[in-house]
Amino acid sequence: MYDSVFQILFLGEALAWSKVAQAVADAPGVPLKIYRLGSLADLFRSIANGQWHAVALDVNAWNFQGLHFVEKIRSKHPVFPIIALHESSVTGIDTKAMNLGASCCLAVDDLTMETLHGSIQACQSENKTNLPVRSGLPMQSGFETNDFPVTRNQAISHAMNNLLCVISAHADILSEHLDLSESVAHNVAEIKKAAKSAAEFMRHLK
Cβ-contact 66, 166 below 8 angstroms = no
Q: Is residue 142 very low, low, confident or very high in pLDDT (cuts 50, 70, 90)?
A: very low
pLDDT at 201 over 90: no
| pTM of structure | 0.63
Phi, psi (rounded to 5 degrees) for 147: -75, -10
17-55 tens-digit pLDDT? 999 999 999 998 898 999 999 999 999 999 888 778 999
Mean pLDDT across 103-115: 93
DSSP calls for 105-134:
EEEGGG--HHHHHHHHHHHHHTTS--PPPP
From the list 90, 34, 38, the residue with the least C-alpha distance to 67 is 90
Q: Classify 6-125 by CATH class.
A: alpha beta
150-185 tens-digit pLDDT? 455 655 665 676 566 667 666 666 666 666 666 777
From the list 92, 96, 107, the residue with the least C-alpha distance to 71 is 96
Q: Which residue would you say has higher pLDDT here, 132 or 41?
A: 41
